[in-house]
Amino acid sequence: MDRAALFDVDGTLVDSNALHVVAWWEALRQGGHFVPTHAVHRAIGLPGDKLLEHLLGPDRDRSQDSRLSTAHDTLYGSWFERLHAFDGAAELLSTLAGNGWKVVLVTSAKDRELEALRRALDADAAIAATATADDVEEGKPAPDPIEHALSLVGVAAERAVLVGDSVWDMKAASHAGVVCVGLLCGGVPRADLEDAGAAAVYDDATDLLAHLGTGPFAKVGAEREGLRGPALP
């Protein structure tokens, strides 16, 4: 039976959250909105429209949304060549793909951003499909992106694991009935990830790679022969 390993990208596989925070903070400042960086950080992982609603509220002047998003995209795009994958990220995806998991990227990144993230990750051979917020009506924390990702590879929710770094990832996976794993490398506290539904929390991709044989991936994969290779303790 097929299994799916679903991965958020920003802050999970690629060290980009701080860049998003600065880009959104400056875009908001240019629009006359002074939002503390810690609040912006907690909103990272949401699609742009939901991020703005989360930070500015539903009664904001929505006519500014496009200009704010464009300012963010321009600022963030100037750093594409500086994006760097976390240690162990590419190896984690390759190990899972080599052991029969269908690896799917589930991200709120737009096409141009996703291309830059994939270049930084350098693991295309391991990736079976990608699902973005543009593919669905509702982005994270709604379950739509997770359900769409599963449909791309024909895998049932109970045969999948989602790995992410934000509470929005955990909530989306939980709403979709998918086991979720949190990583601390995105800067969100362990307690917040656990409260949002994480079944397990690891430091980063390298830490998760070292525990594939004993964590949620081992449990979901138990009906088959189990993981093989260097990830086993």
- The CATH number given to whatever domain includes residue 47 is 1.10.150
The predicted pLDDT at position 222 comes to 77
201 and 104 both lie in a single domain: yes
11 and 65 both lie in a single domain: no
70 and 111 both lie in a single domain: no
pLDDT digits (tens, 9 = 90+) for 196-207: 999 999 999 999
Residue 15 exposed, middle or buried by CB count within 10 Å (0-12, 13-18, 19+): buried
118 and 177 both lie in a single domain: yes
Quickly tell me which residue has 């240690």 as its tokens: 87
165 and 192 both lie in a single domain: yes
Residue 232 lies in a domain: no
- The CATH number given to whatever domain includes residue 108 is 3.40.50.1000
Task: Tally the domains of the chain.
Answer: 2
The domain boundary, picked from 81, 107, 124, lies at: 81
131 and 204 both lie in a single domain: yes
111 and 208 both lie in a single domain: yes
Q: Is the pLDDT of residue 229 over 60?
A: no
50 and 114 both lie in a single domain: no
The domain boundary, picked from 64, 81, 98, lies at: 81
pLDDT digits (tens, 9 = 90+) for 109-157: 888 999 999 999 999 999 999 998 888 889 899 999 999 999 999 999 9
The domain boundary, picked from 36, 59, 81, lies at: 81
50 and 129 both lie in a single domain: no
pLDDT digits (tens, 9 = 90+) for 65-120: 999 999 999 999 999 999 999 999 999 999 999 999 999 999 998 889 999 999 99
pLDDT digits (tens, 9 = 90+) for 164-195: 999 999 999 999 999 999 999 999 999 999 99
The predicted pLDDT at position 230 comes to 42
- pTM listed for this prediction: 0.93
Confidence label for 223 from pLDDT (cuts 50, 70 and 90)? low
Range of the domain at 218: 3-15+84-223
Residue 142 lies in a domain: yes
pLDDT digits (tens, 9 = 90+) for 35-62: 999 999 999 999 999 999 999 999 999 9
200 and 122 both lie in a single domain: yes
